[in-house]
Amino acid sequence: MEEVKCPHCRSVRIEPIRKKTQALIFLVGAVVALWLAQSVQMIWALVGVFLAMAWIRFMDRDTKMCTRCKHTWQVEYKRKADKT
């Protein structure tokens, strides 16, 4: 298996960015905005924004981060050739 390296500094110290954790943070933000929207009507728009951001973040492609230079990039998966 090929070792993953940072495209910026060529370091092998790579960590995945936890997209499910970020989606959960946006969902918590939506719940807080929903709670605040009971007293301030304009906050209802924030509920939709937080829910949309959570959905986008959850469905986003995998992202990696180099712990050495802090460069982030999206993972490109190579397709295997069909054997027929």
Question: Would you give the DSSP letter of residue 1?
Answer: -
Give φ, ψ of 24 to 5 degrees. -65, -40
Full pLDDT tens readout for the chain, 84 residues: 567 888 889 999 988 877 777 788 888 888 888 888 788 777 777 888 888 888 877 777 778 889 999 888 877 766 665 555
pLDDT at residue 77, rounded to an integer: 63
Beta-carbon count within 10 A of 58 CB? 14
Global pTM reads: 0.47
Q: Where are the beta strands (DSSP E) in the chain?
A: 14-16, 63-66, 72-74
d(CA 24, CA 9): 31
32 neighbors 24 (Cβ within 8 angstroms): no
Name the residue type at position 69: C
